[in-house]
Amino acid sequence: MGTVILNLGENFLSGGIPDCWLNWQNLHVIKLSNNRLNGSIPSSMGTLQSIVSLHLQKNHLSGEIPLSLNNCTDLILLDAGENELHGNIPRWIGDGLRKLVVLSLRSNKFSGYIPDELCAIGSLQVLDLADNNLIGSIPRCVSKFRAMAKFNGSMGTAISYVIGAGTFVATIVMKGQMLEYSTNLNLVRSIDLSNNKLSGEIPVEVTSLFELQALNLSHNLLCGTIPDRIGELRSLESVDFSVNKLSGSIPESMSYLTFLSHLNLSFNNLSGVIPLSTQLQSFDSSCYEGNQLCGLPLPKKHSANVAIYNGGGGNDNEFEMEWFYFGMLYGFGMGFWSVFAPVVINRR
């Protein structure tokens, strides 16, 4: 039997999702995205043991993710982003949904910590928890995301049918833009934890995800330094660490990121000279603003001010430099007339 699909996306549907899924046991794909649905996700959806792709994004759904979805062990994509869901991110997602490739819960009202149990999903290629109220640190166990560490080339047989049917589309934020991926989804590796209240340091374990293409940790409360080994992530195309509390210098290894086409390190406490590389100097200076950095592509005037700032002088040093040049001119004038004035007077 082929792929059974229920596609009701983008139909201006309103009201609640019917609680009648016991009669749809053969469904593989449910698309209810881009509607005006409200209320909670019905628990009867947990009876759909054949489902591999569940699209609920861009509605007005509220409440928590029902525990019954733990039974949908063949789920490969779960997208409930851009709703009004709340509560903690369920730990059982990592325990039960071990085949997930895409997990998107962005733009909701989730709170609490990112559960370590998510690290058990070795097949995960896209993790998007952006725009929530998450706190705490980024789990150090992220190194267990095997699909982000080593390219496996395939997402499995089940997803191949769905992609072949032309209905499998994942919406992912890449390089600051919302993009849709379908047949090329198996090539995407992305982590987006931006716009939360995450604290602590960027775990060095992130640097073991060698196939990662996009890493967005912006608009959080992260501190410490950028991991020195970040340059080992040679597949990175997009990095956004802006609006945090990161300090120290930009690691020299970032100059090795030859595929990097989107970078934002603005508004942190970074200092020192921007490493020289074709990539890092090709970005607009706004990518580095709001720090104490110097060097290209920052304007020379800005770089000079930063250098003075780092030396502890600031505007006082600029004032002293002006007096220094004034003193030189004054001294030259006095010396000139002290030598030549007597000659002129004697001649007269």
Cβ within 8 Å of residue 19, ≥6 positions away: 42, 43, 44
**How much is the pLDDT for 175?**
55
Architecture of domain 5-222: Alpha-Beta Horseshoe (3.80)
With tokens 């209810």, the residue in question is: 32
Percentage of the chain lying above the pLDDT 70 cut = 75
Instruction: Pick the range with the lowest mean pLDDT from 41-45, 135-139, 168-172.
Output: 168-172
pLDDT in tens, 196-206: 999 999 999 99
**How much is the pLDDT for 310?**
37
- pLDDT at residue 40 tops 60: yes
- pLDDT at residue 103 tops 60: yes
The type of residue at 112 is: G
Backbone angles phi, psi at 171, to 5 degrees: -95, 120
Q: In terms of DSSP bridges, do strands 170-174 and 177-181 run parallel, antiparallel, or are they unpaired?
A: antiparallel
Instruction: Pick the range with the lowest mean pLDDT from 92-106, 118-132, 146-160, 212-226.
Output: 146-160
Percentage of the chain lying above the pLDDT 90 cut = 58
With a threshold of 0.75, does the pTM exceed it? yes
DSSP string, 100-167: -SEEE--SSEEEEPPPGGGGG-TT--EEE--SSEEEEPPPGGGGG-HHHHS--S---HHHHHHHHTT-
Confidence class for position 288, pLDDT limits 50, 70, 90: very high
- pLDDT at residue 330 tops 60: no
Confidence class for position 323, pLDDT limits 50, 70, 90: very low
Domains of the chain, by residue range, sit at 5-222
Rounded to whole angstroms, the Cα distance separating 255 from 250 reads: 10
